[in-house]
Amino acid sequence: VADVLDALGISYDYEQPLYSRTDSKDFRLPDFTVSYEGDVFYWEHLGMLNVPSYREAWERKQTWYKENGFSDRLITSQDAPDGGIDAAKIEQIARKRILEE
């Protein structure tokens, strides 16, 4: 994801705390906090959804995003079933969601 964002000239921070809108002590660490032309997005790359504990943790985190009003700014990508990363798919997501191409 970082390589694609860099190649597209999109700035980001890695694991920057994102605080709850209702509890200043509650936060999550999105994989990437992406900034582009005044817009901010939170990108989660889901690497191990085939592992039950990882999937359950992601489901809890996804609920947190929804409960805190961030779901419209959430971008997700995931590994292929064989564990590979599809850079072309990640670029497609970035172009559509961030660059609005």
Q: pTM to 2 decimals?
A: 0.93
pLDDT tens digits in sequence order for the chain, 101 residues long: 999 999 999 999 999 999 999 999 999 999 999 999 999 999 999 988 888 999 999 999 999 999 999 999 999 999 887 788 889 999 999 999 999 99
Rounded Cα distance, 61 and 67, in Å: 10
d(CA 98, CA 23): 28
